[in-house]
């Protein structure tokens, strides 16, 4: 659900061209909660995302730019307090950065299109990848499978 009442001209579920904006430009077009996580590398309170236990079939998109990130088939209950996936939708949908903040050596995940901070990836996930993508629900937009198909068909016509 995109609760964005500000105008976001870069948001698109179909345009895969890279988005590069200055920080003040992001601040203008993103709601405060998304800006805080996506651009300031914030972290939402564990257990606060409605997506954490969502089981609906569909696709998760970057809430900052609309880039497709994960499909519900790769989502699992990790118990960590954040929506968790074991695999991104494609190799290029996510960018990986070493993160040494807070005295921990972690791998940060960013949106492959707009470099929004999403969360981190850990190597204690389930098969087949053994990875756990621990993602802030605030920076995710979810579209149910049927709704996404309908949008796709409408776009094509």
Residues involved in catalysis: 134
67 binds Zn ion (CB under 5 A): yes
Closest approach, Cβ 135 to Zn ion, in A, equals 12
Count residues contacting Zn ion (CB under 5 A)? 8
Edge-to-edge order in the sheet of strand 132-135: 75-76, 84-85, 132-135, 117-122, 106-111, 94-99
63 binds Zn ion (CB under 5 A): no
62 binds Zn ion (CB under 5 A): yes
110 binds Zn ion (CB under 5 A): no
89 binds Zn ion (CB under 5 A): no
What are the DSSP calls for 62-126, one per residue? ETTT--EEEEGGGEE--SSSS-EESS-SSGGGEEEEEE-GGG--EEEEEETTT--EEEEEES---
Q: Give me the residues paired with residue 111 across strands.
A: 94
Q: Is-contact 141 30, C-beta < 8 A?
A: no
Of 10, 30, 34, 116, the one binding Zn ion (CB under 5 A) is 116
Closest approach, Cβ 112 to Zn ion, in A, equals 8
Judged by beta carbon, residue 17 or residue 153, the one nearer Zn ion is: 17
Closest approach, Cβ 100 to Zn ion, in A, equals 23
68 binds Zn ion (CB under 5 A): no
65 binds Zn ion (CB under 5 A): yes
113 binds Zn ion (CB under 5 A): yes
Residue span binding Zn ion (CB under 5 A) among the ranges 7-15, 49-57, 59-67, 144-152: 59-67
Q: Is-contact 151 135, C-beta < 8 A?
A: no
With CA atoms as reference, report the closest residue to 89 among 26, 143, 157. 143
The residue ranges that bind Zn ion (CB under 5 A) are 62, 64-65, 67, 111, 113-114, 116
């Amino acid at each position: 659900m995109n609760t964005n009442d500000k105008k976001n001209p870069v948001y698109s579920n179909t345009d895969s061209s890279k988005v590069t904006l200055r920080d003040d430009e992001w601040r203008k077009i993103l709601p405060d909660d998304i800006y805080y996580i996506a651009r300031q590398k914030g972290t939402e309170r564990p257990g606060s995302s409605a997506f954490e236990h969502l089981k609906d079939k569909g696709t998760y998109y970057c809430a900052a730019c609309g880039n497709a990130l994960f499909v519900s088939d790769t989502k699992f209950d990790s118990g960590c307090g954040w929506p968790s996936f074991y695999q991104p939708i494609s190799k290029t949908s996510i960018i990986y950065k070493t993160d040494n903040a807070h005295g921990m050596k972690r791998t940060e995940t960013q949106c492959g299109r707009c470099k929004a901070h999403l969360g981190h990836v850990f190597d204690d996930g389930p098969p087949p990848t053994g990875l756990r993508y621990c993602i802030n629900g605030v920076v995710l937009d979810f579209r149910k499978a049927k709704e996404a198909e309908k949008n796709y068909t409408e776009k094509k016509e």
